[in-house]
Amino acid sequence: MYDFKPATPLAPEELYRELLAATDALTADEPDSVANMANVAALLWEFLPDLNWAGFYRVGAAKNGAVDELVLGPFVGRPACIRIPFGTGVCGTAAQSRATQLVADVHAFPGHIACDAASQSELVVPVLRDGVVVAVIDLDSPSPARFAEADAAGIEALAAMLSARI
Ligand code: SME
C-alpha of residue 93 to centroid of ligand 1, in Å = 10
Run of H or E including 161: helix 149-162
Spell out the domains of the chain, with CATH numbers in brackets.
12-162 (3.30.450.40)
The C-alpha angle 79, 3, 146, rounded to 5 degrees, equals 50
Q: Which atom of ligand 1 is nearest to the CA of 113?
A: 9
Q: Which atom of ligand 1 is nearest to the CA of 75?
A: 7
SS (H, E, C) 34-47: HHHHHHHHHHHHHH
In tens digits, the chain (166 residues) has pLDDT values of: 566 778 788 888 999 999 999 999 999 999 999 999 999 999 999 999 999 999 999 998 777 877 889 999 999 999 999 999 999 999 999 999 999 999 999 999 998 888 888 999 999 999 999 999 999 999 999 999 999 999 999 999 999 999 999 9
Please state the pTM of the whole predicted model: 0.94
> Which protein residues touch ligand 1 with a CB less than 6 Å away?
53, 80-81, 84, 89-92, 112-113, 115, 119, 122, 138, 140
